[in-house]
Structure 1
């Protein structure tokens, strides 16, 4: 074992111990198999008492209509029960159509959508949330997120709380929020988000945001866990994947995410990849592999990073 990996193991152990001491969000908030293992049915208990599947399916940037509908249909067929969309993806209607025609009870499928920045502000957010539900046609939204901090963050958040009270959604959270955004939001409204959805991977670990959320009972949801394919040929990933028969570098990245207990939402429009991505619940990355993955941090973004933007109430 290299000195760097050994140091990473010690650091990872410290972080886990620190988070357990500040807020009991580690094991008690996860529902797994009877033997404690993670499965496709594992869920995360949110701070408002609702539960969200640990593993889900993202639909950005799938086109409205056949592409989205086929992908969601395949995802549900292979066992996914969590679909993540957004108003600005333009495919909410397609998602809702498949969900409602799937034959699966509505309460067994968790649906997330998001308020885009153009709809910030109290009245505009109320209108946008109701419009998203109308497009989905699913009776209610399980989780409504603010897509990113913007110009009217406080009034937007207040409107989202109102939408929850109206029954438009069951939980409210945020996306792409940095620590300063989360602190200001709580200070000005007193209401803590249930979820913070941010880009997460071994190459973008965001330890400051992760530690803050874990300490304050905010569930972490990671998008782009596969780095949009940009790191799949990394020799370290290739080496680790070779230890686990039948597993790929994509499986290593996804397994890292679920072992961190991050809500994980890979995306694909191809049936074979949708099926393959879910195949991460029959193996565990060992301590040394997890520690080596910790060493890959390089602030590697695949898209925007509003977490660093200035707070604008």
Structure 2
């Protein structure tokens, strides 16, 4: 465990308790009865091999209880090993993985491979990573429902879908995805899209939170200085103000802690408008 803490074990253990307590204060979104999605998670895209293991261990150490992965990320085995070695009970960690559209028609084989790699009996959320080719989305969604009912995943959702595609799923199967994970940043902010998702009671989860964001913009710097935080923290806090679940990624402990602590301050209406204007 030593390499996952700082120079002083006493300080490290205090920080661990501090962030563990903070993790329990993170708001959640109810996806289904008894299934609560923490609104701050740890993203693992492009983190592979030993780095995926060590980063996930560190994330769990500092208090993350929501881990986001995918079949195509190629890191499920390392994440599963990190979870087992962390000593954190499986029931305390929300795990998301995703089916690549290339695996349409092989849903059971794909989820079973994910569960084996992760070392769990079921994931908490399984997403269609992005829409399969024309005509295949509905059959995949029907298979997702069957595998959810079989107990391989607790809830099901989609990623990179627009409102029309979601409506197609609902029309053909009668079931709405609980989550739609999409790229989201100030430059991509779309109030109409958010309203469409809220009308359908779909939770929006955002990835690539800093994409195309001018982090050196004087307006963002001023807001960050006013709150004694970093500009990335301001952007992440802005997303939470819009009820968007965030899954920032990092391989650095200090940044993980900063990302987890964005609930320690709030933005004013004027500041929210400033960030949104980007």
TM-score tier (shorter) = 0.7 to 0.9
Report matched runs for 1:191-230 at 5 Å: 191-227=175-211
Q: 2:147 aligns with which of 163, 166, 191?
A: 163
For 1:184 and 1:48, the matched residues in 2 are separated by 25
In structure 2, what is the equivalent of residue 287 of structure 1? 269
Matched, 1:55 2:59: no
Query: How far apart, in 2, do the equivalents of 1:82 and 1:232 lie?
Result: 26
Which of 83, 103, 108 matches 1:119?
103
**Greater helix fraction, Structure 1 or Structure 2:** 2
Residue 83 (1) aligns with residue 44 (2): no
Instruction: Specify the SS of the correspondent of 2:81.
Output: helix
Shift >6 Å, 4+ stretches: none
What secondary structure is seen at the aligned counterpart in 1 of 2:53? Answer: helix
The reply on whether 1:177 has 2:153 as its aligned counterpart is: no
Determine which of 222, 225, 235 is the counterpart of 1:242.
225
Whether contact under 8 Å (2:23, 2:63) holds in the other structure is no
Shift of 1:241: 1.0
**How far apart, CA to CA, are the structure 2 residues paired with 1:278 and 1:44?**
16
Match of 2:13 in 1: none
TM-score by length of 2: 0.87
Deviation at 1:38, TM superposition (A): 10
Q: CA deviation at 1:278?
A: 1.4
State the number of aligned residues.
255
Q: Deviations over 1:216-257 (max 9, x none)?
A: 1111101111227x5322222112112112x01011011111
1:153-183 deviation per Cα after TM superposition (whole angstroms, max 9, x unaligned): 1111111111111111000000000111111
CA drift at 1:139: 1.8
Q: How does 1:245-264 map to 2 (within 5 A)?
A: 245=228, 247-264=229-246
Unaligned ranges ≥5, structure 2 = 1-21
Residue 209 of structure 1 deviates from its aligned partner by: 2.2
Q: Shift of the alpha carbon at 1:48?
A: 5.6
Instruction: Using the TM superposition, give the Cα deviation of residue 107 of structure 1 relative to its aligned residue in structure 2, in angstroms.
Output: 0.7
RMSD: 1.7
Aligned partner of 2:19 in structure 1 is none
Note the residue ranges of structure 1 that are not aligned, 5 or more in a row: 1-36, 297-313
* CA-to-aligned-CA distance 1:49-93 (integer Å, 9 cap, x gap): 5211110000010012x1001111111111110000000000001
Name the TM-score, length of structure 1 as normaliser.
0.78
The 1:53–1:47 alpha-carbon spacing in structure 2 relative to 1, beyond 3 Å, is same
Secondary structure of the corresponding residue to residue 133 of structure 1: helix
Tell me: CA distance 1:99–1:118, structure 2 relative to 1, closer, same or farther (3 Å). same
